[in-house]
């Protein structure tokens, strides 16, 4: 039931601090990962993994895109990510000793299942990261890690995404500890994961500010979402959420690509949303944002650095509290979920049941 919330989507956004606890429960102990959580056969598989292939659709694909940044940085092994509907129909080259990771909230997405069936015999092992125990995906993979997010009713995926990200970080740790990640580094990441519920709680306090900001989008027809590094998939997820429930055309770009084309679209009718945590890419991103301002584009920035990006004519800023670098994609997702939710509410769309979409896409 929705309780005090007007829509399931909002309820599910607000459940995320608790969902973070659920996905970590029994998977970490004090300062380390408990890899038995992946099943008894998992350790032997992890020992042999030399590359990773992630497959998924929609929001789950965006989670996979974030994980690629983590796996290649922390485990130092090659990681590929692809939408299942493309992967299943092309001739793929699968490196030796590949761990196939299928990501799906429902575990019933037709393309993801078909892609799994297509390559199952050619990989070292397959792992499902899934929210539905007993689903087809879980039954057909060798290993599984449940995201424990509880039933997700809103068609727009919210808590499923952030719980997938945590599950993917746990998977990254399992791989990385075999490839040079020190126990100190692992301890630090585990601490960061355990801090997520509280940090999410703080972010939810930005809700009314975000609601106010959302007014500026209601009359617009197009928007651009920008991010760099692991925040690029977060921008993609923000854009998907907005188009899915508010029916406003939204596109995401890695900010460095702006001048290779999309800048031509920018004018005062094209709001540009940027996710801008305080990290080593911030200066680059700021330069990209200046390019937008110079063309009259209105900026809406979720910023981790109060000093360097100031609110002024044409730039609306929502400041986020400091967050640890590897957790940025998980935490910066929340304000974007809230933004799309409030825009949709203003537009009066059916938030939980957007037109033309189904919660689970069981046909191709």
Binding status of residue 338 toward ligand M6R by CB under 6 A = no
Q: Is 112 in the site for ligand M6R (CB under 6 A)?
A: yes
Q: Tell me if 360 contacts ligand M6R by CB under 6 A.
A: yes
Nearer to ligand M6R, 109 or 303 (CB): 109
In this chain, which stretch among 39-47, 55-63, 187-195, 286-294 interacts with ligand M6R, using CB under 6 A? 55-63
Question: Where do the H-state alpha helices sit in 77-214?
Answer: 84-87, 110-119, 136-140, 159-176, 183-194, 196-204, 207-214
Question: Could you write out the DSSP letters of every residue in 216-272?
Answer: GGTT-SEEEEEE-TTHHHHHHHHHHHHHHHH--EEEEEEGGGGGGTGGGG-STTS-E
106 near ligand M6R, rule: CB under 6 A: yes
Distance between terminal CA atoms of the chain? 31
**Vertex 223 angle, CA 277 and 64, to 5°:** 55
Shortest Å, Cβ 263 to ligand M6R: 28
Which window, 151-159, 190-198, 281-289, 292-300, contacts ligand M6R (CB under 6 A)?
151-159
By CB under 6 A, tell whether 156 contacts ligand M6R.
yes
359 is catalytic: yes
DSSP state of 349: -
Q: How far is the CB of 341 from ligand M6R (least distance, A)?
A: 12
For tokens 């970590």, the residue is 24
Token readout for 217 is 């989008």
Q: Assess 109 for contact with ligand M6R (CB under 6 A).
A: yes
In DSSP notation, 274-294 reads: EEE-SSTTHHHHHHHHHHHHH
CB of 107 to ligand M6R, least distance (A): 7
DSSP state of 322: P
CB of 264 to ligand M6R, least distance (A): 28
| Binding-site member from 20, 45, 57, 275 for ligand M6R (CB under 6 A) | 57
Write out the two tokens for 239.
């854009």
Write down the catalytic residue from 120, 243, 286, 359.
Answer: 359
State the minimum distance, in angstroms, from the CB of residue 165 to ligand M6R.
Answer: 13
Structure tokens at 49: 């993994």
Cβ-based nearer residue to ligand M6R, 105 or 230 = 105
Q: Is the Cα torsion angle 105, 106, 109, 112 positive or negative in sign?
A: positive
Strands 28-29 and 143-146: unpaired
Interface characters, 236-255, with ligand M6R (x: CB under 6 A): ----x---x-----------
Residue 59 sits in the site that holds ligand M6R (CB under 6 A) = yes
Return the active site residues. Answer: 359
Binding residues for ligand M6R (CB under 6 A): 57-60, 104-106, 109, 112, 155-157, 240, 244, 360-361
């Amino acid at each position: 039931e929705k309780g005090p919330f007007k829509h399931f989507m909002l309820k599910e956004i607000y459940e995320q601090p608790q969902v973070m606890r659920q996905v970590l429960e029994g998977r970490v102990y004090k300062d380390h990962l408990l890899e038995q959580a992946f099943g008894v056969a998992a350790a032997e598989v992890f020992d042999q993994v030399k590359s990773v292939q992630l497959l998924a659709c929609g929001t789950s694909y965006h989670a996979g895109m974030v994980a690629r940044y983590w796996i290649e940085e922390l485990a130092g092994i090659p990681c590929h990510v692809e939408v299942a509907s493309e992967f299943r129909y092309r001739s793929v080259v699968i490196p030796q000793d590949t761990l196939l990771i299928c990501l799906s909230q429902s575990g019933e997405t037709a393309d993801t299942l078909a892609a799994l069936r297509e390559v199952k015999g050619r990989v070292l092992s397959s792992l499902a990261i899934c929210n539905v125990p007993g689903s087809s995906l879980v039954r057909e993979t060798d290993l599984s890690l449940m995201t424990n997010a509880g039933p997700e009713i809103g068609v727009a995926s919210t808590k499923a995404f952030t719980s997938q990200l945590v599950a993917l970080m746990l998977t990254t740790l399992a791989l990385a500890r075999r490839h040079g990640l020190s126990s100190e580094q692992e301890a630090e990441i585990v601490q960061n994961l355990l801090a997520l519920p509280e940090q999410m709680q703080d972010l939810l306090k930005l809700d009314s500010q975000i609601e106010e900001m959302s007014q500026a989008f209601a009359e617009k027809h197009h928007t651009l979402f920008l991010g760099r590094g692991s925040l690029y998939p977060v921008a993609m997820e923000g854009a998907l959420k907005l188009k899915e429930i508010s029916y406003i055309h939204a596109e995401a770009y890695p900010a460095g690509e702006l001048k290779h084309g999309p800048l031509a679209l920018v004018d005062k009718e094209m709001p540009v949303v940027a996710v801008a945590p305080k990290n080593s890419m911030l200066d680059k991103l700021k330069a990209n944002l200046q390019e937008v301002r110079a063309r009259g584009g209105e900026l809406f920035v979720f910023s981790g650095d109060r000093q360097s990006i100031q609110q002024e004519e044409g730039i609306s800023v929502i400041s986020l509290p400091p967050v640890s670098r590897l957790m940025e994609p998980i935490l910066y997702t929340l304000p974007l979920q809230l933004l799309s939710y409030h825009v949709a509410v203003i537009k009066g769309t059916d938030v939980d049941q957007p037109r033309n979409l189904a919660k689970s896409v069981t046909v191709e």
